Amino acid sequence: MELRTTGSVFVVFLCSVAVVLGQPGWGVTYTLQRVCALRGSSVDLSCSYTYPRGLTVTKTFWFTKWKDGEGAEDLSLDPEFDGRVQYRGDNKSEATLTITDLRERDAAVYKFRFITNKDKWAGQPGVTLSVTDLQVEVTPSTVMEGQRVTLTCNSTCPLTGNSSYIWYKNNQTRSKTQQKLLYLDPVSSEDAGRYSCAVTEHQHLRSPEETLNVTYKPRNVSVSVSPSGEVVEGSSVTLTCSSDANPPVQTYTWYKENITSSKSSGQSYTITNISSEDSGGYYCQAGNTVGDANSSVVMITLIIRTGISTAQAAAAGTTVSVLLAVILLSACFLCWRKKASKPSTDPRASADNGQGDSCFVYDNVSATTLNPVPAVQTHTDTDTHRHTHTDTHTDTHTGQQDDVHYASVDFSLSKTQDVPLYSTIQSVQPQNQEEDVQYAAVKLNHLCPAP
């Protein structure tokens, strides 16, 4: 006998009364009364049913809606489930409903109904289906390096079955867990990134990504110098500080080694018209809300470009003077030896015994330097005494003062040489101070007729 009613609540009451009043053969038992499934997945709802002997089952179906005056509406005829539901069973005692591509609006209470050749029956209270998404919860979402973080793969209802979980970081599989919790303790900067989760049975149904932000103080702080290498006096040099930090560095501060006060602020520091006072070591300090760190010290080496120094000019002039004097002395000595070896034809030579008229050999070697340098003049007279003095000459046209080196050698009276031989060797440097070139001039003056 079919029981009709205007509401599902009244049907439940009548069915219960019918069982109590003498229809113990009718009944429906659901495998699960509550099912939680992921949106986009598939779900199976199953039950078993009984009826009195001698009856034959003619039709079975599932429904969620009850229309007044018409009774239960077959789910397979509902346009919203077109192509997404399937009935399976033996038409005797077992029935299963499969729903694919679950949607949020599919959440409802599903009931089974069967019809025999004599009566109809609807099983109560049905199966409550919940449809959920996965959602990652990061606690806390921003954390300082070294602290603890808990990630939870949440759903609006407990998923049916013993599901295991897969965790993804930046779209790459990170780990698999039997629980929906993932602990990062202690957390490091490498753990920062985008996290999502999925259940093993439905890996393609991942949760939306949530970001874990790990903060840390600046590290790998370094300074670059442009231009690199030695710096020429009067030019400019730029120092640039770089670091790895989260959050980014808010203020860079520049210091000079062994000086407590700061020189400048900002990621770059430029020194213009650099001088010797700017030489030394520099470093930068990088800081954010977590902490600060210093770079290593970089050295700025200054090059001072000038002309030839006074000492170098004096040394060069002296060297040239000495060399020329040695050469001249050697030449004069060879000349004297040659003349001395010839026999004398002058009768005055033997009468004077070396005290007669004679010519002297005189040489003068001078070197002019770029800067005022004391010069030495050496004379050797017939008595073999040596004297030194410094001559300073001033150009009346230019007003510039030059120091001249003289090297003079006087030879004693020669018995065989009647004509004095005079020679001057002079080393003159050019007016251009930027070039270090030595010039030598040699002049021979015959003061009297040579033999």
Asked if 442 and 423 count as a contact pair (C-beta separation under 8 A), the reply is yes
Amino acid 8: pLDDT:
30
Amino acid 238: pLDDT:
96
Q: What is the CA radius of gyration of the chain?
A: 57
- Rounded Cα gap, residues 96 and 90, in angstroms: 10
Amino acid 331: pLDDT:
84
pLDDT in tens, 39-49: 999 999 999 99
Asked if 414 and 339 count as a contact pair (C-beta separation under 8 A), the reply is yes
DSSP 248: P
Amino acid 230: pLDDT:
81
Count Cα atoms within 13 angstroms, Cβ side, for 307.
Answer: 12
pLDDT in tens, 157-178: 999 888 899 999 999 999 999 9
Intervals of the chain under pLDDT 50: 1-22, 346-363, 365-440, 442, 444-451
Amino acid 317: pLDDT:
75
Amino acid 413: pLDDT:
46
DSSP 347: H
pLDDT in tens, 43-92: 999 999 999 999 999 999 999 998 877 789 999 999 999 999 999 999 99
Q: Other C-beta atoms within 10 Å of 174: how many?
A: 16
- Rounded Cα gap, residues 449 and 451, in angstroms: 7
Amino acid 421: pLDDT:
47
Amino acid 162: pLDDT:
81
- Rounded Cα gap, residues 126 and 327, in angstroms: 129
Contact residues for 174 (Cβ-Cβ < 8 A; gap 6+): 167, 168, 195
Amino acid 66: pLDDT:
86
